[in-house]
Chains A and B, each alone.
Chain A
Amino acid sequence: MREIIYFDNAATSWPKPQETLDAMDHFNRHVGANPGRSGHSLSIDAGRVLMDTREALAELFGIDEMLRIIFTKNATEALNIVTLGLLGPGDHVITSGMEHNSVMRPLRSLEDRRLELDVVRCSASGEIDPRDVEQAIKPHTRAIILTHASNVTGTIMPLSTVGAMARERGIVFCVDASQTAGAIPIDVNEMFIDLLVFTGHKSLYGPQGTGGLYMGPGLEKQIKPLIMGGTGSRSEFEHQPEFLPDKFESGTPNAMGIAGLGAGVRFVLDTGVENIHSREMELSARLLGGLLEIPGVTVYGGGDAQRRTPVVSFVVSGMSPSETALLLDEDFGIMSRPGLHCSPSAHHTIGTFPEGTVRFSIGYFTTPWEIDYALNAVEQLASRQEEGALA
C-alpha cells in the first residue's frame, strides 16, 4: 500500500483517536436505542450518552448550563439556525471578509430580503482591525458574526476585543469556531460569546455528521428553529416546545455520532487544549518555515505560526492549485485541498480569487517526518516547474 500523508485536517480531521471509534462501536453494539423517546433503560442510556457529550463540551468551552448546547449535523446547520432564525428585514449585521460560505450564503440570501449587511474588509494576510468593526456598528446592528480563524489562511481573529464591543452595545456576538474548537482555548464568558458554533469532526475529533451551537441566556426566545417535530417531550402538545435544547433538536439525533463526539472531546480534555495547541504550533512553524524557503512558492497569510491555526495556503508559481494538488496526490500520496475552500470572500481578500490556493492543514497526529516529506515534495514540484520554464 502506498504511503498516505493526510494534510486536509481543516476539512475533517483524520485519523480519529481510538476512543472515538470505540465509543461509536460501543453505542451500536450495546446501547442502540433512541435517546429520550421511551422510558426503558436502553433509551435512558442513549440519553445519558448525549448528556455526557454536552457535559464534556460545557467543560471545554466554559459553559455554565449544559442544556444550552444544541446538537446539529454540522456547523453549517448551526450557522443557518443563527442567521435564518435570528435575523430579519431591517436588521443590520456585521461580518468579516474572511468568512466561509456557511456564513456568507445565508446572509446573502437574507440581504435579498432587506437585511442590511456590512462585510468588514481584512488585510491581505487576512487580519481584521477591531476599529473597523466598531466603525461599522449602527444603532440597529443586531449581530456581529465572526470566524475564530480563517479556513484559508489560519489567521486568528481578535474575539475578546470584538466580543466586548458587542456586549457593551447589546449586540449579539456569534462566533464560528469550526477551525478552532478543540485546538485553541475558547471560553464563552471571557470572550463575550453569545452564540458559539462548532463542528464535531475537526479538532473535536468526533465523526462527520456532528456539530452544534451554544446559545446564551435568553436567545432561545429570539431565535426561530429551522426544523420542528418530535422531541420526546411535551408530546401531548402540537406546538414546538420553547425550552432548550428541545426547541432546536427535533427528530432522532445522530446518537452514534454524538457518542463518538463525546469521546473525541474527552480526548481533547485529557490531552489538554494547550498541549494540542503547542504541538500544532510547533508542527505548523516547521511547515510554514519550510514552505517560505522554497523558491517559486508563495505563502499566504501572516508568516508568524503563533498567530494562526495549522493551515497554510500556498501557490507554486506557474502551476495551478488543482494541478499541484493532483501531482501531490498521484506522485507523493499527499492529500491537500486546492481551490477556493468554500470561501470566495477570503480568497478575494488575500488576492487569490478565482484560482485559489493549495491548502495544507495538519493536525495533532501529523508527524515532523510527514512535514519534511511534504516540503521535499513541494520543492520537487517547484523545481520541476522551473526546469520546465527554462527548457
Chain B
Amino acid sequence: MTATDFQVVIFDSVSSALLAEKILKKLDIPFKIIPVPRHISSDCGVCIRFSARERERIEGSLAGRVGIQTILPL
C-alpha cells in the first residue's frame, strides 16, 4: 500500500454521505466527496474518497452512526 492508494465509502443515501461529512470534518480527517464511480455502483449518488491509511479512523468514526453499504479500494 502506498500513500496515494485511495478507497471509497459507499453509503445507503446522499443524506448518510453528508452526515459522514459532518462527522469527519469535526474529527479533522482528510477526505473528499466524489460522485460514486460507475464501475463500483450504478447508483447516482456520492461517496467519500479517502487515503487508504485513514481506513481504520474512518471506519471507527462512522460505524454505527451512518448507514454504510461498503468500503472498497478505488
Contacts and interface: CB of A to CB of B under 8 A. Distances in A.
Interface of A: 35-40, 44, 47-48, 50-51, 55, 65-67, 231-236, 241, 243, 245-246
Contacts of B15: 36, 47, 50-51, 67, 233, 245-246
A37 B13 CA distance: 10
A306 to B, nearest CB: 38
Interface of B: 12-16, 18-19, 21-22, 33-36, 42-46, 65, 67
Given A232-B44, A232-B45, A39 B13 contact: no
Nearest to B12: A243
A241 B35 contact: no
Nearest to B11: A233
A199 B22 CA distance: 25
A233 B45 contact: yes
Contacts of A231: 13
A36 B14 contact: yes
Given A47-B18, A67-B19, A39 B12 contact: no
B18 to A, nearest CB: 4
Contacts of B12: 233-234, 241, 243
Contact of B19 (A35, A38, A39, A66): A66
Given A39-B34, A241-B12, A235 B18 contact: no
A65 B16 CA distance: 11
Nearest to B15: A67
Contact of A233 (B14, B21, B35): B14
Contact of B13 (A38, A65, A66, A243): A243
B16 A38 contact: no
A51 B34 contact: no
Contact of B18 (A38, A39, A51, A234): A51
Nearest to B67: A243
A236 B13 contact: no
A233 B22 contact: no
Contacts of B67: 67, 243
A51 B19 contact: yes
18 contacts: A38-B44, A39-B34, A39-B35, A39-B44, A44-B46, A48-B21, A50-B18, A51-B18, A51-B19, A66-B19, A67-B67, A233-B15, A235-B42, A235-B44, A241-B12, A243-B13, A245-B15, A246-B15
